[in-house]
Structure 1
Amino acid sequence: MSDRIRKKLAILADAAKYDVSCSSSGSNRKNTNKGLGDSSASGICHTYTEDGRCVSLLKILLTNHCIYDCAFCVSRKSNDVQRAAFTVEEVVDLTMNFYRRNYIEGLFLSSGIFKNADFTMERLVRIVKKLRLEHKFNGYIHLKTIPGASQELLTEAGLYADRMSINLEMPTEAGLKLLAPDKSHEDVKKPLDFIQNSIVRYKEEKKILRHSPKFVPAGQSTQMVIGATPETDMEIMYSADAYYKNYDLKRVYYSGYIPISYDSRMPIIGSQPPLLRENRLYQTDWLMRFYGFDVSEILNPKNPHLDIDIDPKLAWALRNMEYFPIDVNTADYKMILRVPGIGVGSAKKIVEARKFGKLRSDQLQRIGISWNRAKHFIRCADSIFQLNSPDAFKVKSSILTKGNSKYLKIPQNQLTLF
């Protein structure tokens, strides 16, 4: 690798690190005709698939030149940073050379917008076409959608990329206008809608035409910056819920705001992003996607913010103690999922195991539930602990003060219920 390419790589890989929507789950592109790579093969580092495999992706920008001046972005046109741009051939060569050396198994490619949306998107499409058609590369490719790009280019990109994503940037339109007045959520909704409709259309065609091509097989995702604008947790998650439902997104990513450089439009916070809040948002997202919770059960006008000291599942249970305790030997799967300390895998094991006899506490612990939390909300065959008159404050206090609790340890006199 030449010094010139190495310098470009250092600049454009560093600029790409702020985009957290780097995921490789959901694709099953196979290797054919003795090509290189296989997006369903096991990986080595950097990002995780749905089944827990770790996959490495070359994560870069095509360029950090940009015509926009978004206050939160390191690549904004007014920011005094060193600029660089790859050529199409340079990105293709880097990807192939890194793959052959077993450094990576796929590519995450984004870009600043230079000249206009179509000019930028056309170059991104040329890169993925060269990889697929000329180099027979069958590894994973995650391609960023450029807002404002033509439908023709989006269609072409979708035929070669495994996943596409476009950043929502801020959770609300008001927040976006505050920090990026040249952008709007409508510019994001249009390509999301077009790509989602195309995914559905190609799937229908596949039922009729056996050799109909795949179109964005791993679906779409988006990203929000959290903490740069004053939205409540409720506003953030209601926005995420709407995008999940309207555009069938695979993931919404929540990126804690990092003060990159001074801008009078941005809030003054410490050097660390709001990681605990970010984590609580991801936990809420998980409850919505895998645990059957409606977002309004977790966040609503009465409870617009997530608890800092406990996770959202426990917080919901403490606010709804009238549902507990449940009998794990008779309760349905959906209710077992709502018990703090019982995950999806454990809930499935409980439902299967109880077919062969009533479950006791020792069996539940061997299944893998978090007994110190779950015991407050369940009954089993040998239950001694009976929660006949549940006291949410006492339950919360007990959980937080347990020596092995994963929750924050705080003094008793600082405990609050909601």
Structure 2
Amino acid sequence: MTVRVTRTLDWVEPLAVAAGLADREGALCLLSDGGPNGRRSYVACKPDQVVVERMTPERPFAALDAEGMNRFVVGLATYDAGARAATGEREAAPGDWPDLTLARYPAMLVFDHEMRVVSAVGLGADEAAAGVAADRAAGWIVGAAMPVAGASPAAGFEAERPDGAYVDAVADVVARIAGGELFQANIARAWRGKLKDGVDPFEVFVRLAAGAAPYGAFWRMGERALVSNSPELFLTFDPESRRIETRPIKGTRPRNTDARVDAAHAAELVASAKDRAENLMIVDLMRNDLSRAARPGSVAVERLFALESFATVHHLVSTVTGEAEAGVGPAEVLAATFPPGSITGAPKHQAMRVIAVHEEPRGPWCGSLFLLDDDERLTASVLIRTIGFHREGEGWAFRTLAGAGIVADSDPASELAETEAKIAAIRRALVG
């Protein structure tokens, strides 16, 4: 049995605390914008257990069922591991990310943006051990100092393929849709580069945090680091109420500094039959995915085509819910739904096969980063607006992607422009 001890502390900005821990092993900051979709942020370091596993088709998230891996566990599942059942095996390449990485944190700071309080939470085999862990978390606040964004951290930001290659890929997918092969596929472009000498990935996270999204994240894992500013919830699961919720995003327009133009972009998105149809396809897909883990008849669409606005884009967001079947836990919910339907297409398996024709492995991008909190609730994001870093010599190399949902009436040039709008904040954070 795990004992929990909590110390209540005065408010301090989570980014300031994370800055003091950023160079420690396992440094973690799950940074929310504090809005309705992300009320809490989390900061921690030095996990006491790390599991790196290959995901199997039969039980891809089985590691979550291991003893002790049910609270304050952070996980990263790569897109490619989830797509393997559709796309088949391939030879491992240098720099490939592990399928599944799990880390358990015995101490964590929880920041409640609505109540403006911080909880130092410790877990242990008994009250004494949990108290020591809680005190350790409380001590992290001593080193808090709000970081200041410096000069552009990257030495370059280069597309892996020319624009024309993406336009041709979109045209091919449109032709496949016309031929009845599928209805929709999310096709992405990739960029890569290196950070300047002496620059750490956390500096990129600081620059992105100026326009924080509900599911921002920094996670240092040995020779790798993840930086994400995702606005998209993959799913939540509450083991007490049994509620599963997913909020797929489909439909995008760029923001504009002119308020009238910005409002016009938003209105155009809300009225767009193409974007609504694209969103509805993924809603239907997610209803089907949730039904694999939910009680029959419980899956429902609670919100359809809602407009949500972020720092650089407007999105259409829908909400699908269900009640988990008896005996279903986080591992089963993730297995039933991964990878997220909003970044694959429909039908899901055929869309992933088409994606594999046009893209190199995605790695962490469009996989999922998830947290099992101290009440065993699961929150998983879709890793869009995300950068994967790996050590290269004495410095850090990075790769990032942006995609668009391709449907029957997609215009290749417009879809290219959509990827530019989606990558704009990351481009500015790296070289702007």
TM-score by length of 1: 0.24
In our comparison, the structure showing a higher alpha carbon Rg is 1
Higher strand share: 2
Higher helix share: 1
